[in-house]
Structure 1
């Protein structure tokens, strides 16, 4: 159990820094409430679980190849540009104030989480950084691998629930115009992440060539 709780803390630490997933979760949580923000988080965790399965079967080494990672930076940038542009363009749409009925579909928010999570920033971290931790535990004891993986996923889940609980309380004090401008800020941040991905794509192309 001590191993599990230790990696719950690691999962929390992983989820704490503000990234594209956190920005999208916050945006959906503000516009449509807890469930839609959590749908984004579940989309992200779907990719995380898929990567854990890949790591356990040894297929992650393919994702670590530069020829695979380089186009992923560009693809991730395109996804984030799309989400950022869509956030700004539709900032005043699909806003549901506290107490109102939500019209946006759960799957639409979940899909956004998937799109953000397959960005290379997330994939590179899991494969190149966290993959070492998982691979070591898998080599030592297969049961340890799954305890570590479960601990980290639990930590990420705790972060998501905590963040969205705060957002759910905060949005009760916000009006439609305030949520609109916060959505525009979120869209701008997503475009900023896209710019960073394009920079990484150019740098990796230079190194590869």
Structure 2
């Protein structure tokens, strides 16, 4: 139980910093409701669970190879740039607020879930898991065995889930009192942040490429 609580808190700490997943989750929650915001979070958690399994089976070293990371930086930059541009361009459209039924566009749960998957498959997320959390999990695996590793991994996922549900609950309440203009402004701001992440990813891609061929 002590291990579980410890790693729930670690999961919360992992999820707290504002990153591309949080931005996309908040944006979808404001524009399309709780379920779509949570779909993004579930997409991110799917990747997190996959990384835990990869560490369990010893595949983490593959993810740390430069030839694996470099294409992911570029792919991440491209996808985040697309999301950011789309968010800014459609900031005054595609809204599903309770008082806006005219012209409302139905959003697919699986489409927003896919967005969460693709945003989470970024080198920043992968490297963090390998270099920081991977060390903690590996220590748990070596010192207390496979069962503790599974409990630790489950605890982390629960911590991330608690963060996502808490954040989206706040977003859902806030959404009800925000005007359409305010939601549009937040959506455009989220787009700018996503573009910022994409430029950072592009910078890391160029830097990694330069270091590889130096």
Same fold (TM over 0.5): yes
1:128 aligns with 2:106: no
- Tell me the residue number matched to 2:48: 48
**From 144, 147, 151, the counterpart of 2:148:** 144
1:49-88 superposed matches below 5 A: 49-88=49-88
Give the counterpart of 1:106 among 98, 106, 109. Answer: 109
Measured on the aligned residues, the alpha-carbon RMSD in Å equals 1.3
TM-score, scaled to structure 2? 0.94
Aligned residue for 1:206?
210
Look up the match of 1:31: 31
Q: Distance in 1 between the 2:154 and 2:197 partners? A: 28
Q: CA deviation at 1:51?
A: 0.9
Which residue among 167, 172, 175 is the counterpart of 1:171? Answer: 175
* C-alpha separation in 2, matches of 1:63 and 1:124: 8
After the TM superposition, which of the residue ranges 92-101 and 5-14 deviates more from structure 2? 92-101
- Structure 1 unaligned regions, length at least 5: none
Preserved CA contact (<8 Å) 1:97 1:175: no
Aligned pairs, number: 209
Q: Secondary structure at the match of 2:17?
A: coil
Counterpart in the other structure of 1:21 = 21
CA drift of 1:27 comes to 0.1
Consecutive unaligned residues of structure 2, counting only runs of 5 or more, are: none
Which TM-score applies when normalising by structure 1? 0.96
Contact 1:98 1:171 in 2 (8 A): no
* 2:194 is the counterpart of 1:194: no
